[in-house]
Amino acid sequence: MKKILLVISMLLNIHLYADSNNEELASNNSSNMLTASVYTLVNELYTQRCENQEMDGCYELGVLYGEGKGVDKNITKANELWAKACDAGHAEGCFKLGTSYQRGRGVKRDSDIADKLWVKACNKGNAEACYNHAELVSQGHPSYEDFFEPYKKACDGGIAEACLIASPLYKNNNYYNKNNNNKLIPREQYMANKRYRENLFIKACTLGSAKGCYRAATSIRHLSVDEKLAYAILSCDGGDSYGCTEAATVYGNYKHNMPKQLEFSKKACDFNYGSGNQCRFYRQLLDLVKKGVLK
């Protein structure tokens, strides 16, 4: 293994040297040599690790076969390696094999088998598997707890969309009351649910969801004006026109900053290709400014 890593390091140095001398032909040749040589060595490394019952090696070798990197593409071989890893409890191996069954890649398409594999991967901590399992289960109109927990696990694992999907379950009391004759829950529990839901919006935002930032800006009542504006701007910068509209509203109603209100109203309009209510609002606002009604 040390020898393999040493050779990889030497090849990287050759590649960097060619780049530093700005020799296009040499660079292209060294890049090709680097790619072929590295994948050959990596294949050897993963094969050795897999034979030594190191399941990370089996999983990674499966990825090489699945993508045809350094070896002829062979999805059947990839599935066999992922199955070996999965049988030994490797979460990513189970996830990949489940995806193959869901898509019918190298195996007969079977959503039930895919779901079982995703559940196994989810229980081992794979967030994508949790999300996929929740998506399958939710299509069957089950009870809340059947799909809430996997969405929550996916959210905890860093999938922003799962946080947004899980959050509405805290909007109503049904999730907690389904086995309690739909009686109202205590106010303390209601408030705890509300805070948790708000935290899901914040988490989705921090994970890069523009919609999550918008929900945080508009749904969390205790935010200061500056905090509300910050979330709205994050949403707008992420490409959500509603976030731009919210930023414009905050600048207009709370900051009394007409140039900024116009700026973000225009952004909202631009995201809608110059049409829709947001554009009508922008044009009306601009017209009032031009007439001197607003300053």
266 CB-near residues (< 8 Å, 6+ apart): 282
What's the confidence (pLDDT) of residue 32? 55
Q: What is the pLDDT of residues 153-192, one digit of tens each?
A: 999 999 999 999 887 655 444 444 444 555 666 778 777 8
53 CB-near residues (< 8 Å, 6+ apart): 88
Q: What is the pLDDT of residues 120-132, one digit of tens each?
A: 999 999 999 999 9
* Distance in angstroms (rounded) separating the CA atoms of residues 264 and 245: 6
What's the confidence (pLDDT) of residue 191? 79
55, 70 contact by CB (below 8 A): no
The pTM assigned to this predicted structure is 0.76
Q: Which residue has the higher pLDDT, 284 or 185?
A: 284
What's the confidence (pLDDT) of residue 149? 87
Give backbone dihedrals phi and psi of 184, rounded to 5 degrees, phi first: -65, 140
Q: What is the pLDDT of residues 220-269, one digit of tens each?
A: 989 999 999 999 999 999 999 999 999 999 999 999 999 999 999 999 99
What's the confidence (pLDDT) of residue 181? 54
* Average pLDDT over the chain, rounded to an integer: 84
pLDDT band at 37 (very low <50, low <70, confident <90, very high): confident
* Distance in angstroms (rounded) separating the CA atoms of residues 182 and 36: 63
Q: Which residue has the higher pLDDT, 9 or 55?
A: 55
What's the confidence (pLDDT) of residue 12? 46
